[in-house]
Amino acid sequence: MISYYQQDCLKRPIPSAVVMGGVFSAFDAAMGHRVTPKSVASYMAFIYTYNAMQCPMEEIHGKRSALHNALSGGIIGYIGVTTHRLGIPFVDPYTLYRYPFISPGMAAFAVYGGMGFGLALLGGKPV
């Protein structure tokens, strides 16, 4: 049985996922990329999943934390890169050649997790 908190937590990110999916798609269009319904839906699904993954963590710990954002971002980044759906921003591709013990999935977890953590701290979430 899903608690009221879980139901609310899973419904709350829908509007922001739709809006921000549209915004990111507009960025793509402004940069000259082809925008398709699949790409728009991918942005929306990524943002919704990022937010929805935090619900069980908040329920288990009984509080909101920036670490939940870091874990959600890291997991999504890892899955996205290892399935070849996402790239790794801010990382020079030669870094992975220079340091062969760093897999692309590990780098993605660190980068996307760090972005989630940073944005959560900027948004005022406690650690």
Helix ranges restricted to H, the chain: 4-11, 13-30, 37-52, 54-61, 66-82, 93-98, 104-122
Written as one string, the DSSP assignment of 92-118 is: -HHHHHH-TTS-HHHHHHHHHHHHHHH
pLDDT for 53-99, tens place per residue?
998 898 888 899 999 999 999 999 999 999 998 889 999 989 999 99
Model confidence band, residue 5 (pLDDT cutoffs 50, 70, 90): confident
> In this predicted structure, which of 5-9, 10-14, 109-113, 114-118 has the lowest mean pLDDT?
5-9
Q: What is the pLDDT of residue 2?
A: 62
Q: How much is the average pLDDT of 5-19? A: 88
Note the pTM of the prediction, 2 decimals: 0.86
